[in-house]
Structure 1
Amino acid sequence: MESLANLESFVRSAESGSFSAAARQLGLTPAAVSRNVGQLEQRLGVRLFHRSTRRLELTEAGERFLSSVDGPLRALRASMADIGPQGDAGGGVLKVSMARAFGLAHVLPLLPEFRAQWPRLQPQWHFEDRAVDLVAEGLDVAIGPGLELGSGVVTRTLAPAHLVAVVAPAYMAGRAAPNLPSRLAALDGIVLRPPAGGRVRHWSMRQADGSAQQALLSETLVFDDPTAVREACLLGLGVALLPLADVLLPLRRGALVRLLPQWWADAGTIAVAHAADAPQGGKARAFVDFLVERFTAESLARRLDASAP
């Protein structure tokens, strides 16, 4: 009978494309993962990977073996988690990735209540503005827009991802408020360029009657971090199109005002995702259920709907 460690090392390496990434997920060294896979290959008498300095690639035999063991191994993980000491989310590490501004404003404040319910869980939370691969990166839960959803991942919608035009009140002193998205171009614009490069994205805004219009902000200030865009906006440096989720609190306290209150841009949804084989009552499922329940109780989806009155 092949050891579970060897099979886990193989499957994680195949999913992530490297021994190093698999090692991070399993809490081992890359050398240990490589040794486990080597022992498995020796036992089977075939090569499972084409190895290179850049990435692992499955051989034909490796692809066949992965398809035969992946499902049973997922089921075994779920069964072990369900019956073990963490099956009731009693303890362990909870690895969560979430969009930075959204997580700080809407998820982190829920941590005291969650910790009171699950005191033995250790949160390891990553606040990062990038698309993550839940399975390949060994995460329990991912939250935000733009999730890379592969097979075996379940998502639940938390709220719409609507962008709104916001500005500091001081900036608008002595200026006429625009009445159409196209007229935002007359103001100083603060825009986001993706960290990996590429063009600034300009959005089409729409309103409840279905009409739409391009919002071509001037590129007065260009940043590669959405939190920096918001902070520059708070400093009164110009107008920005930002997720309502990221500016809800500054809007409520009057640090920002919303221009064109009948218009918004639709960027999809804010979702929470976990692996499909997370056991009922396990740590990932417990956190997701808690999060959805709190968002429902606080009507956050309605408050983040820019089309709502």
Structure 2
Amino acid sequence: MEISQRVRAILSFVEAVNGGSFAAAGRTLGISAAAVSKNVAGLEQALGVRLMNRTTRTLSLTEEGALFLTQARVALEALNSAVDVLAEQRAEIGGHVRLSTSAAFGRDYVLPALPGLQQRHPALSVEVDFDDRVIDFVRDGYDLALRGGHIADSALVSRPVCRLNMLLVAAPEYLARSGVPDSPMQLAQHRLIGRRFLGGRLAAWHFSCHDGSQITQPLDHAVLTLSAPEALVQAAVLGMGIAQVGVHHAWPYLQSGQLKALLVGQHDPGSYQMVLQYPHRALMAPRVRVTVEYLLTSFATQPALHVPLAALADYAAPV
């Protein structure tokens, strides 16, 4: 049996089962009931097994027929998917995508990715909100959100972007004036720059001890408190004190020598992460899918988002 005949025969068999009769299958396929019966008989002859028992009123699957039906449906679904993928590739994907991101990450990593995304999909329009608040996808009308921190389990799909490791930094000028701390206890003698989150909580610093325990450094006596993570980096570059910042924020300043890493190996980098989130959907709109995949590919190529912790020792201030 040639491949085209085989496909017609398999379609006839599946539709006969779905419709419960050769006549119903014929109406679905646009052929006669006799043609459906002939196709099924030819399939059985080619396979060498009986797939269904026929009476004047009913069709019933044999054991072999039930097994073949499962595989046939998988094969037909694969064929349909292949056609859909090809059609989607040939069609111009367009529409509007709304994205929520923090100001710093959006400026540094989302905006630089958008020209390439829109060059690939000219009919796509993108709306980006730079906002650190927690959004409601349905109520607020968002398709995607980029969020960093401790990501709680939720009904959302979370695609990992990177780890958001933290480190302590200070400018060489500050360290020349005030000295380089070689233990967490010495931080009490330094000017510390703290971060206050939107809810009012002041972030403490954590350190790992050789015995596996942790030391927490409160920031109650911080000389400067800021809410924006990029502002902490700038304050440290200006020589205002020691700050805890994300490695991705500090990376270009470490490379240029404007900042030095402190207490590497003692400071706990935390368990923060950056994720791209979107609601669970059985079928994701092509405009959203291409945006998700393009952004994740773009983020994967950004060295600052994937700095190994071991590399920070090369930028540590000498004690």
CA separation in 1, counterparts of 2:92 and 2:203?
Answer: 41
Q: Is the 8 A contact 2:248 2:305 kept in 1?
A: no
**Aligned residue for 2:215?**
213
Structure number with the bigger relative contact order (C-alpha 8 A, sep ≥ 6) is 1
SS at match of 2:270: strand
In the TM superposition, what whole-angstrom CA distance separates every residue of 1:68-125 from its partner, at most 9, and x where no partner exists?
xxxxxxxxxxxxxx9x99x977222221111222222222222222222122222211
Query: In the superposition, relative to structure 1, how do residues 170 and 138 fare at CA in structure 2: closer, same or farther (>3 Å)?
Result: same
**Aligned residue for 2:117?**
114
RMSD across aligned positions (CA): 3.2
Query: In the superposition, relative to structure 1, how do residues 130 and 160 fare at CA in structure 2: closer, same or farther (>3 Å)?
Result: same
Q: Is the 8 A contact 2:209 2:215 kept in 1?
A: no
Return the TM-score normalized by structure 1.
Answer: 0.62
CA separation in 2, counterparts of 1:132 and 1:300?
Answer: 27
TM superposition shift of 1:167: 1.4
**Aligned residue for 1:266?**
270
TM superposition shift of 1:273: 0.7
Q: What is the 5 A alignment of 1:13-52?
A: none
Q: Which moved more, 1:203-212 or 1:103-112?
A: 203-212
**Aligned residue for 2:205?**
203
State whether structure 2 residue 177 is matched by structure 1 residue 171.
Answer: no
SS at match of 2:164: strand
- In structure 1, stretches of 5+ residues that fail to align are 1-81
**Aligned residue for 1:289?**
293
Q: Is the 8 A contact 1:166 1:242 kept in 2?
A: yes
Q: Is the 8 A contact 1:94 1:123 kept in 2?
A: yes
State whether structure 2 residue 212 is matched by structure 1 residue 243.
Answer: no
Query: In the superposition, relative to structure 1, how do residues 298 and 161 fare at CA in structure 2: closer, same or farther (>3 Å)?
Result: closer
Return the TM-score normalized by structure 2.
Answer: 0.60
CA separation in 1, counterparts of 2:154 and 2:286?
Answer: 21
Amino acid at match of 2:224: L
State whether structure 2 residue 162 is matched by structure 1 residue 159.
Answer: yes
CA separation in 2, counterparts of 1:189 and 1:276?
Answer: 42
Amino acid at match of 2:138: V
SS at match of 1:287: helix
State whether structure 2 residue 140 is matched by structure 1 residue 137.
Answer: yes
**Aligned residue for 1:183?**
186
TM superposition shift of 1:143: 0.7
SS at match of 2:159: strand
**Aligned residue for 2:28?**
none
Q: Which moved more, 1:274-283 or 1:237-246?
A: 274-283
CA separation in 2, counterparts of 1:279 and 1:207?
Answer: 48
Q: Is the 8 A contact 1:250 1:256 kept in 2?
A: yes
Amino acid at match of 1:215: Q
Q: Percent same amino acid among aligned pairs? A: 27
Q: Answer with 1 or 2: which has the greater Rg.
A: 2
Amino acid at match of 2:263: L
State whether structure 2 residue 226 is matched by structure 1 residue 223.
Answer: yes
In the TM superposition, what whole-angstrom CA distance separates every residue of 1:10-39 from its partner, at most 9, and x where no partner exists?
xxxxxxxxxxxxxxxxxxxxxxxxxxxxxx
Q: What is the 5 A alignment of 1:78-93?
A: 90-93=93-96
- In structure 2, stretches of 5+ residues that fail to align are 1-84, 313-319
TM superposition shift of 1:131: 2.9
CA separation in 2, counterparts of 1:208 and 1:97?
Answer: 41
CA separation in 2, counterparts of 1:255 and 1:249?
Answer: 9
Which has a greater percent of helix?
2
CA separation in 1, counterparts of 2:272 and 2:119?
Answer: 33
CA separation in 1, counterparts of 2:131 and 2:91?
Answer: 28
